[in-house]
Amino acid sequence: MMTPAQRYERFLTDLKASGVRLTEQRKVIVKVLAEARDHPNADELYHRAYVLDGSVSLSTVYRTLRLLEDHGAIQRHDFDAGRARFENADTDHHDHLIDVDTGQVIEFRSERIEKLQAEIAAELGFDIVRHKLELYGRKRG
C-alpha cells in the first residue's frame, strides 16, 4: 500500500498522462484525495479542498475524479444507490459494511468469507476473477 505522498505523486502522473493541466486547484483536490482515509463523495472532497483553496470548483472535482477513475487510480462505489463514494485503488482487498442509518462505511476482511466464496465458485465450476462484497446493516441497540 502506498503512503499518501506516493499516492499523490501517482495521481499527478496519471493526470499528466491524461493530458490535463495540473492547476493548483487540481493539485489541492489530488492532495485531499490522496490523504483520504474514508470513502468521501464528490461534495465531501470539494468541501475539504475548498478549505485549502477557495478557488476550487465542484466541476473540477468531478473531472479530476473521472480522470483518476479512468486510470484505475481510484475506485468508485455506489453504495445502496446513494452518492458515489471513492477510495484509493492501491489498498489491499477488503469488503464493506455500510451503516444504513449513518452512511458510515466500515472496511473489513474475513478469511472465512474469502474461502467460502472460492468454494462456492469452484462447486459451480468457476474461478473468481474479482468480486466485491457489500453488507448493509444497522447497529444493534
| DSSP category for residue 86 | E
- Choices 3.40.50.2000, 1.10.10.10, 1.10.940.10, 3.60.9.10: CATH for 4-88: 1.10.10.10
Q: What is the reported pLDDT for 93?
A: 85
Average pLDDT over residues 96-108: 90
Check: CB of residue 100 under 8 Å from CB of residue 91: no
Residue 82: what residue type? G
Average pLDDT over residues 57-86: 88
Q: What is the reported pLDDT for 90?
A: 80
Q: Tens digits of per-residue pLDDT, 49-71?
A: 999 999 999 999 999 999 999 88
CATH 3.30.1490.190 location in the chain? 95-137
Q: In the predicted model, what is the mean pLDDT of the chain?
A: 91
Average pLDDT over residues 16-37: 92
CA angle (115, 121, 122) in 5-degree steps: 90
Length of the chain measured in residues: 141
CATH 1.10.10.10 location in the chain? 4-88
Q: What is the reported pLDDT for 8?
A: 93
| CATH class as words, domain 95-137 | alpha beta
